[in-house]
Amino acid sequence: AQKVTQAQTEISVVEKEDVTLDCVYETRDTTYYLFWYKQPPSGELVFLIRRNSFDEQNEISGRYSWNFQKSTSSFNFTITASQVVDSAVYFCALGRRPNTGNQFYFGTGTSLTVIP
Amino acid sequence: NAGVTQTPKFRILKIGQSMTLQCTQDMNHNYMYWYRQDPGMGLKLIYYSVGAGITDKGEVPNGYNVSRSTTEDFPLRLLSAAPSQTSVYFCASSYLGRTEAFFGQGTRLTVV
């Protein structure tokens, strides 16, 4: 069975602090895909990143970085020097290979509040 | 491109009423999904479709119905509205599971 766990329900940090959002996944698929989405207070869901299971390279995009470790089934998201605009709910998701029915499994989300 | 379009954006229903939430995508995606998001909660899958004519239940299908007659459209029907169906509904589509899902803007539904 597929499962995504985001154990941190809510996190508060002071502006300019670094923060890491945890994501742990479960799957028996050998090929799978991992995603992060941002849901700002306005409510829309914004795609941030996708990683393939066969590519464990970490990725950095500006203040955002992602650490993918297959050994621990984790795909953690770090925001460096947080800003108030980073306040949002962040969802981690697992995608499956084609022809396996439901394609996406979402975690329950982590609500991040950045305090000015 | 419009992406995924949901209508309406807001709706208030009385208990027992029925309604259809519309969802259209113009990206020629195979997969389409309906999620609900209760206040302060994550996304729960209601129904999904892997292509025209094929639908399947998700985690919370009771009280809903769907159809997929075309690749573009995936309407969600509430059969008899109940207060427990007060939620924000998101439609999404993806080409496959290896590509990201694109979400509509959401429909905020209140049942009174």
- Each residue's pLDDT, cut to its tens digit, for chain B (112 residues) gives 679 999 999 999 999 999 999 999 999 998 999 999 998 788 899 999 989 999 999 989 999 999 999 999 999 999 999 999 999 999 999 887 567 889 999 999 999 9
Distance between CA atoms of residues B82 and B103, nearest Å: 25
Residues 6+ positions from B96 with CB-CB distance below 8 Å = A97, A98, A103, B30, B31
Q: What integer is the mean pLDDT of A69-94?
A: 96
DSSP code, position B73: B
Amino acid letter, residue A98: P
| pLDDT tens digits, one per residue of A3-20 | 999 999 999 999 999 999
Burial of A41 (0-12, 13-18, 19+ CB in 10 A): exposed
A contact residues 36-65, partner B, Cβ 8 Å cutoff? 43-45, 47, 50, 52
Inform me whether the C-beta atom of residue B39 falls under 8 Å from chain A C-beta atoms. Answer: no
Dihedral of the CA atoms B11, B12, B14, B19 (nearest 10)? 0
Per-residue pLDDT at B91: 97
- What whole-number percentage of chain A has pLDDT above 90? 70
Q: What integer is the mean pLDDT of A28-50?
A: 92
Question: Apex CA B37: angle with CA B36 and CA B42, to 5°?
Answer: 120
Q: In this model, does residue A99 exceed pLDDT 70?
A: no
- Give exposure, B8-46, as e/b (b: 16+ Cβ within 10 Å): eeebebeeeeebebbbbbeeebbbbbbbbbeeeebbbbb
Interface test with A, best of B27, B32, B36, B37 (most A CBs within 10 A): B37
Question: Apex CA B42: angle with CA A41 and CA A64, to 5°?
Answer: 60
What mean pLDDT is reported for chain A? 91
Three-state SS for B83? helix
Query: For chain B, what is the largest distance between any 2 Cα atoms, rounded to a whole number of angstroms?
Result: 40
Residue B26: both structure tokens together: 């113009």
Per-residue pLDDT at B98: 64
Cβ distance of B96 and A103 shorter than 8 Å: yes
Per-residue pLDDT at B1: 62
Inform me whether the C-beta atom of residue A25 falls under 8 Å from chain B C-beta atoms. Answer: no
Closest by CA to A41, choosing from A114, A104, A116, is A114
For residue B109, give how far its alpha carbon lies from the nearest alpha carbon of chain A (Å): 14
Inform me whether the C-beta atom of residue B58 falls under 8 Å from chain A C-beta atoms. Answer: yes
Three-state SS for B80? coil
List residues bridging with A91 in a β-sheet: A37
Q: In this model, does residue A97 exceed pLDDT 80?
A: no
Neighbouring CB atoms inside 10 A of A58's CB total 12
Residue B53: both structure tokens together: 């004519």
